[in-house]
Amino acid sequence: MPVCSTVTLTMNPALDVSSEVAAVEPVAKLRCAAPRVDPGGGGINVARVMRRLGEDAACVFPAGGATGQRLVMLLRREGVHIVPVAIAEETREDFTVLETRSGQQYRFVMPGPSLSSTELANCLEAMHLKDVCPAFVVASGSLPPGAPSDFYADIARQARTHGRKLVLDTSGAALKAALDAGVYLVKPNLRELRELTGRALENEADMLGAARAIIAAGGAEIVALSLAENGARLIARDAAWSALAPAITPVSTVGAGDSFVGALVHALATGAALPEALRQAVAAGTAALLSHGTELCTAENVSRLLPQVVVRQI
């Protein structure tokens, strides 16, 4: 295993299958284009993006059955440094279809396998990698069915004990529990921040206020708020920045959030200041929108879009 600045954890990985069809209709057989198959899951995608941008990350995830074996094979083919944890049940498979007539994308997301208490504990244990002392831990994506909602909170406490910075990208009860434990950086989108706070957050002041309340309560040191076509905000205790996304015509929305996180952590791991990290993250999130199916951002598109991202202090 090479020296890695980052370890990612994906508790509910998937094979992401994508295809195209002229129109999505009931009952009729829908003749699809040849499918594309990609490794999927939040932390897995973060590690893949970091690899593309030149920074290795160790990627921990449970894998089971034939689908899990294929997931491992695809990640090895990309050169991602993986730490698979064997589980009894089959790794899930998700399916995305582009309806070419309308340009609309349909995403079918399966619940994933249930993990036993031993398998959950093995995932936690796998984070302690020999000869690897990462500065950052990224926990990203949903928890598998039946997993305790405080699982990421355990990761937060573990990271703090070992002097690591936890970057968290999840939602719902798992997000709330982890913030109660305290993380380094959290990346909600606007819907997730609204659900977390129970507020409408209809303007900039409300959004910044909600983020600063999380920081003041000790939930996170930094909040990275993604706002889709409106770019993103990065809020720390004493400063905040906004970044506007370049104007593009999206091809697919899959992978934009994971590309954002991957580029953000890559920038922080290589010593970038917060405004520059935000700029790179928005460029990567936008670049992912130019990729087909379940593909992530490419390094070429990130480099091309980077000069177009405008960051300002707010």
Residue of 16, 150, 169, 258 with catalytic role = 258
Closest CA to 40 of 60, 66, 64, 10: 10
Residue 150 per-residue DSSP state: T
What per-residue string of b and e applies to 8-18 under the rule 16 or more CB within 10 Å gives b?
Answer: bbbbbbbbbbb
Tokens of 242: 């906004």
Distance CA 186, CA 174 (A): 12
Neighbour count for residue 79 (Cβ, 10 Å): 11
Distance CA 270, CA 277 (A): 10
Distance CA 87, CA 142 (A): 17
Q: Say whether 258 is catalytic.
A: yes
Catalytic residue numbers read 258
